[in-house]
Amino acid sequence: MITLKGAAVSAKIKEQVEELLAGLEGKVPKLAIVRVGERPDDLSYERGALKKMESFGLQGESFAFPQDITDEAFKEEFAKINENPDIDGILLLRPLPKQIREKDIEHMINPGKDLDGISPENIAKVFAGDDTGFAPCTAEAVVEVLKSSDIPLAGKRVAIVGRSMVVGRPLSMLMLKENATVTICHTRTENLKETCKSAQILVAAAGRARMVDASYVGTDAVVVDVGINVDENGKLCGDVDFDSLEGTASMATPVPGGVGTVTTAVLARHLVLAALKK
């Protein structure tokens, strides 16, 4: 089984970013990462994203707010970030605490700065196949990993386990745009294992640690693991039991070191594109 690592894909995207930066005549794009509270996965993603921006020659700044901030106070602070002309792109770490109306923020965010595709305008563009918007970075990263590994998508049977607006649904639209035949599954799908085994490309995005093992995977299938979980030993793991796939899958992405590495690279590319559009 071939391990599809994200580092090589990230390096290719870095080259694209360097070419795009030439069009900004010395301006360095700036990312704002907006975080409420101290969730370990948010902190981990924030650290990774800031490190990636620096390595790509871009600016990144964290805007952190207390877990108990009121809805009104957060909206006031978010509006300042949203309207700041020095900020080219925004990444909002979600989910937000229950007292904040997340839907309101999705409608507030400037679509031109919405690098992770959460605004109604960008979501509509993804579903319409319109490239002028920003797709969610993780969904786009999955397609990047497959394309960079010369895995053809046209005509292929793809099963996606997970139906969120962060990965599952937008990814299905990106796959359809590549002429794949897509089935969206979830934890309540009848005969889930059989549906997954019939796929030539299987994407696991259910949010359950090591849920997908070899019994879900067809012979020589390509498996992409989008999950980020912490197991009972405090170790980072994906939605796929990676070690069990040996002898069944032809290729698979690891966690860590797989899709996550590419996700932050896609975020960097979105940031430069947002600055160019301005």
44-54 residue pLDDT tens:
889 999 999 99
Distance between first and last Cα of the chain: 44
The secondary structure of 17-77 as a DSSP string is HHHHHGGGTT---EEEEEEES--HHHHHHHHHHHHHHHHTT-EEEEEEE-TT--HHHHHHH
Tens digits of per-residue pLDDT, 17-42? Answer: 999 999 998 999 999 999 999 988 88
CB 164 within 8 A of CB 123: no
Q: Among 90, 137, 85, 86, which Cα is nearest to 113's?
A: 90
The pTM of this model reads 0.95
Tens digits of per-residue pLDDT, 85-133? Answer: 999 999 999 999 999 999 999 999 999 999 999 999 999 999 999 999 9
d(CA 257, CA 183) in angstroms, rounded, equals: 26
- pLDDT tier for residue 233 given thresholds of 50, 70 and 90: confident
Q: What are phi and psi of 210, to 5 degrees?
A: 50, 30
Report, as an integer, the average pLDDT of 143-168. 96
